[in-house]
Amino acid sequence: MRRGRPEGGSAPARRTLRMSEETAVDAGRGVAIIGMAGRFPGARSVDEFWRNLCQGVEARSVLSGEELEAAGVERSVWTRSDYVPAAFLLEGVELFDASLFGLNPREAEVMDPQHRLLCECAWEALERAGYGASQYRGNVAIFAGSGSNEYLRNNLEARPELFRSVEGMVLLGNDEDCMATRAAFLLDLRGPAINVHTACSSSLVALHLACQSLRAGESDLALAGGVRINVPQRRGYVFAPDGISSPDGHCRAFDEKAEGTVSGSGVGIVVLKRLADALEDGDFIHAVILESAINNDGASKVGFTAPSVDGQVAAISEALAMANVEPGTIQYIEAHGTGTALGDPIEIAALNQVFQGLPSKTCAIGSVKTNIGHMDAAAGVAGLIKTALALQHRQIPASLHFTRPNPKIDFDGGPFYVNQTLREWRTGEAPRRAGVSSFGIGGTNAHAVLEEAPLPEEAAPGRPAQLLVLSARGKRALEEATSNLAAHLEKHPDVNLADLAYTLQVGRKRFDCRRVLVCRTVEEARQALVERDPQRLLTQAQEASSRPVTFLFPGQGAQSVDMGRGLYETEPVFRKHVDDCCERLVASLGFDLREFLYPSEARREEASKRLLQTAATQPALFVVEYALARLWMSLGLKPEAMMGHSLGEYVAACLAGVFSLEDALQLVAYRGQLLQKLPGGAMLSIHLSEKEVQGLLGPGVSLAAVNAPSLCVLSGTVEAMEALEAELVLRKIGHRRLHTSHAFHSAMMDPILEAFAERMHRIKLSPPRIPYVSSLTGTWITAAAATSPRYWVEHLRQPVRFGDGVDSLLAEPQRVFVEVGPGHGLSTLLRNRAGAAAHRVAVSSLHRFPEAQEDRPFFLGAVGQLWLAGAEIHWPKLHVDEQRRRIPLPAYPFQRERYWVDPQPKAEQARAKTGARQKRADLAEWFYVPGWKRRPLPAASMRQVKPGSGWLVFLDPTGIGQRLVQKLEAGGAEVTCVSLGTEFSRKGEKRFELAPGQQAQFRMLGEELQRLGRLPGHVVHLWGLTPETAGQAEETVVRSQQELGFYSVLFLSQALAEHLREQPLQLDVIAHGTQDVTGEEPLSPGKAMVLGLCTVIPQEHPAMRCRSIDVEPPEAGGEERLSARLFQEVLSEVHGHGVAYRGHRRWVEFFEPVRLGAPGEDPGLLRERGV
């Protein structure tokens, strides 16, 4: 019940698979695990998790007293003898890539970190599966569970003012019922989105529900997983002898010393797909889920929280029965294995019942909780991922802390033994199989039966060159993605290059910052990625939108033997259309055109001479250009407009439906034969305007083309052209003889016009279905013209007005151009006409000289350039007739920043509880006045410069900003500078000038930064640092201060908001004379207007944070000291809006309550009942 093949289904043929004859895999019921992602204690990824498992790492942390007190644990508690200062920590829970998901900073800060981590891991898992692109047409479901929300209870609710200010945002961001649906919204998943809450078994129950959804046809891909984050993390616990917690902070599953478990934080998620579909679509399969089962203990147990032998037996037995496998074929069990005195014996007793009668010590057992603690709602998926990795790598990791068995466990009564060391997973006749158990408090049991993945066929090598594509939201992320891929290729040099390219093309979402590389080998790719040669590794920032494509078809003169030969040998679509056209032309030409297009070495000279003859040249060019156009169109590049130069217009007209392919071929062949009968002629390209060449026209010389305002082509007899050449040499006028056999578009064409007109009247002509520009008029073709035989006669005789046609095409600024034919003549003319500042994209399909560069790499380079420019590419068609596979590759490099609300200090909490929320009855107590406190910059708030981070600095005339830029660049920041000027201009790669009061110039700056991929994450505005203004009129001074301060900051924030959208931005406004701190500093009211903006901007644009930093003008020699302080300040985390520096001291703004006094005795200006 598939809703359609995924984007990237490169071949309809069903794949075969090799597996044991004893396998229980039923392609109709098996579910493949095709992607995994997770973050676990001591492991930031699934790869690190597996490495730790193999090395027997216990990712346990012993916490110091300082750490515990910082987490809010009272000294009187953590110094107790029964306090266990141990935890399994997950690093980075406060970090999140909010902008990637379109969330503003406040939304991210108040969202449950469990929701945030699940979204990032869901994204990563889909990319690791090769389905990160949004083009997947099937339904994608998500089933997930989470632990209790301690962030809400311990951090957000402890800050009542914050809670009240964004209460709706807090409630939605922390509702456990919104986690899966929020992930579905942020990732655009259209299948079921269901939150699962069965305590410790939540994530394995989620797996079961996901498999059911796939089998029922509700979804085509399904995500299943869970997350648990302890907040605060760095805390231990008081050991309770009758509880489930370990007395020493170790989980000793099945051991005689097992007395409890330890809580851990983590997240895990898997991507599932019906096995039959995964095999057909070439997905990488980590393992196969044969079946799963869930149930509940009911009341047949000691208490609500106790486990039940009967319940576990029923769940495991049902899963095995549904999987249709014998218990004896299971070689490993990933147990629930909490290490509790009650749980472990019951679990083994249940397993012994299901596996009774099997030989002793034939089935290994282990528990991942000995490595990473008990991750609660994520415990089941952690065990599942461990088991899938064990099946994939054919190794069983050790279960830790097992020395002697728990005497209450009857290991002799069943086949089980605790696996104490990493060992190879050998197997016999049956494939490797395992079971995974997860049992929740409250009695919901889950068990899944897994099997190793079927062996895939050996991957085909693919075509001789490949196109690698990368993209990211920002430049820093793009650089990380490039480095990550290079590192991956270093570790996996045997990766299939075609599968690598295919996965990057179809398995990733597209972003604005893009990069492409054409390569022939994996080592060549790795080296290019490492070296970052800009000539090979092309990079461009382009707003993610579909840009219209225009085809340009060259005319005679660009032809050569072997044009397109490389594509003929490697691209089935191109070959199909060349073959079709050539076979249709045999009767008209009397020979097979392919013999001269792609001759053997022995006939190469003969072929070259034949292609110089117009009778062969014109049909050859038509065939190659038509086949090229069809190849481009198969890649999804449907032309929105077209233009052909002379003969090239026949290809455009044919594609537009003016005449059929059959008629077009016969017409072009007949046209070429007519021209061949004419006397030979010559053509000259001359660097003069149409007006300037008029004096050169005369008997034997005609105007053949106007290709540009100062570039024309003259055509005529050989003698006349030779005489003209001699004259041009004397006059030192640039010119070039064209590669043609006849004097096209000249009076020499007149003898064949009548015959051609007669033939045109026999051709069925239809109105064009695709707009194209006429090379006869230089304007858009009309239906009347296209269907008039007379038009095509005039088209043969009159000048080609390509220059006017280019102007018509350039009227649409978003167009990208493809020269569909050999060479780059037309694209060069177009770029020259547009001018370098216009940044118009025009690419060539084939090299002018086939021997100079192979066709496929050249063509792939053109594909890459178009994709960089924003064209939509249908990537699977680059691999047509191949069975490509998605392979695991590095996922998106999240640009994670701190989004965390720290808990309120206990003293403040106490004050809040004593009435902070109560409304004051006395109106006189409602008021506050601003004040300033001396506060040194906290060491904890200081940050280092992030290498590659984007900064925008508005340079002041005093030089402080330039010193700041030097410090930032020394730390590795990418800094763009803006100086004062009279008009907007670019002064270098990283420097601009603009006028402060001109809003349009700020918009131009934003657009240029977007185009260059240099949108900042941090802006430092220093135009408020101005020299003395003695002697100037006060009105002039205030107006200048307003433009440099208030209006420039306002226009800047508006311009950047248009492009940054939800991407965070820190804006620091540095000035002097804006704040009254000591009561002695001179103030500038015109400058102070910007303070209100600093408060309002974050309210208007929630993704922006803004603060004002007021300084004293430095004394001579003090510039370096001030710039050093500002450097530390702008790198610090932002708290509050106002900071000031006075001398060596730093001040921060605060507001204190003030009570209004009683009215005085003096009569007021207003009196009661007055008029």
The yes-or-no verdict on residue 1117 having pLDDT over 90 is no
Which residues, including other chains, have CB under 8 Å from residue 79's CB and lie 6 or more apart? 65
The pLDDT value recorded for residue 96 is 96
More confident residue, 904 or 744: 744
Residue 875 token pair? 């990537």
pLDDT at 919 over 80: no
With a cut of 50, say whether residue 718 has pLDDT above it: yes
Q: Calculate the alpha carbon distances from 202 to 34, 147, 377, 380, 1072 in Å.
A: 21, 9, 5, 7, 58
**Which three-class secondary structure state does DSSP give residue 638?**
coil
Instruction: Average the pLDDT over 725-735 and give the result.
Output: 93
* 223 and 126 Cβ atoms separated by less than 8 Å: yes
CA distance 318 to 300: 18
Q: How far from chain centre, in Å, is Cα 713?
A: 47
pLDDT value of residue 918: 57
Query: 3-state DSSP call for residue 591?
Result: coil
Asked whether residue 87 carries a pLDDT value surpassing 70, the answer given is yes
pLDDT at 19: 42
pLDDT of 191 above 70: yes
Task: Identify whether 374 is a catalytic site residue.
Answer: yes
Looking at CATH, the fold of the domain delimited by 682-739 is given as Alpha-Beta Plaits (3.30.70)
Q: CB-based contacts of 836: which residues, under 8 Å, 6+ apart?
A: none
Fold for domain 466-541? Answer: Alpha-Beta Plaits (3.30.70)
997 or 618: whose pLDDT is higher?
618
In this predicted structure, the answer to whether residue 837 has a pLDDT above a threshold of 90 is no
Question: Do 264 and 373 contact (CB within 8 A), yes or no?
Answer: yes
Cα(881)–Cα(12) distance, integer angstroms? 9
For this structure, is 393 an active site residue?
no
* In the chain, ranges of CATH 3.40.47.10 domains: 31-452
Q: Name which residue leads in pLDDT, 53 or 457.
A: 53
Residues of the chain with CATH 3.40.50.720: 934-1153
Active site residue 367: no
Q: What is the pLDDT of residue 72?
A: 87
pLDDT band at 1162 (very low <50, low <70, confident <90, very high): low
Mean of pLDDT values over 937-955: 85
Is a pLDDT exceeding 50 seen at residue 723?
A: yes
Mean pLDDT of the chain: 90
pLDDT digits (tens, 9 = 90+) for 384-433: 999 999 999 999 999 999 999 999 999 999 999 999 999 999 987 889 99
Per-residue pLDDT at 15 = 40
Q: Where are the beta strands (DSSP E) in 855-988?
A: 897-898, 927-934, 950-954, 974-980, 985-988
Residue 16 has pLDDT above 60, yes or no: no
Give yes or no for residue 1125 having a pLDDT over 70: yes
* pLDDT for residue 884 is more than 70: yes
Confidence grade of residue 10 (pLDDT, cut at 50, 70, 90): very low
pTM: 0.80
Is the per-residue pLDDT at 11 higher than 50? no
Out of 81-90, 347-356, 359-368, 837-846, which region has the weakest mean confidence (pLDDT)? 837-846
646 is catalytic: yes
What is the model's pLDDT at position 1091? 92
With 90 as the cut, is the pLDDT of residue 322 above it? yes
The region of weakest confidence among 442-451, 488-497, 1111-1120 is 1111-1120
Closest by alpha carbon to 875, among 635, 638, 637? Answer: 635
- Among candidate residues 121, 178, 200, 211, the one labeled active-site is 200
Give 162's pLDDT tier (boundaries 50, 70, 90).
confident
Q: Report the pLDDT value the prediction gives residue 459, as an integer from 0 to 100.
A: 81
Domain boundaries 549-678+743-871, CATH class = alpha beta
505 is written with which tokens?
Answer: 């093309």
What is the distance between the alpha carbons of residues 783 and 802, in angstroms, rounded to a whole number? 20
* pLDDT reported for residue 1139: 94
User: What is the model's pLDDT at position 302?
Assistant: 83
Average pLDDT for residues 364-391, to the nearest whole number?
A: 97
Mean pLDDT on 459-466: 89
Q: 934-1153 has which CATH code?
A: 3.40.50.720
Q: Residue 910: which pLDDT band, with cuts at 50, 70 and 90?
A: low
Total residues belonging to the chain: 1171
CATH number for the segment(s) 31-452 = 3.40.47.10
Strands (E), 423-530: 423-424, 433-439, 444-452, 466-472, 513-519
Say what angle helices 661-677 and 750-760 make with each other, to 10 degrees.
160
Residue 628 pLDDT exceeds 70: yes
Element (H, E) at 417: strand 416-418
Distance between CA 463 and CA 856 in Å, rounded?
Answer: 9
Mean pLDDT, range 1140-1157, rounded to an integer: 85
Q: Per residue in 593-607, pLDDT tens?
A: 999 999 999 998 999
What residues does CATH 3.30.70.250 cover in the chain?
682-739
pLDDT of residue 912: 54
CA neighbor of 555 nearest in space, from 508, 493, 620, 603: 620
Catalytic pick from 336, 401, 742, 847? 336
pLDDT at 14 exceeding the cut of 70: no
The b-or-e profile of 189-218 (16+ CB within 10 A means b, else e) is bebbbbbbebbbbbbbbbbbbbbbbbbeee
Which among 45, 399, 437, 646 is annotated as catalytic?
A: 646
Q: How far apart are CA 59 and CA 48, in angstroms?
A: 12
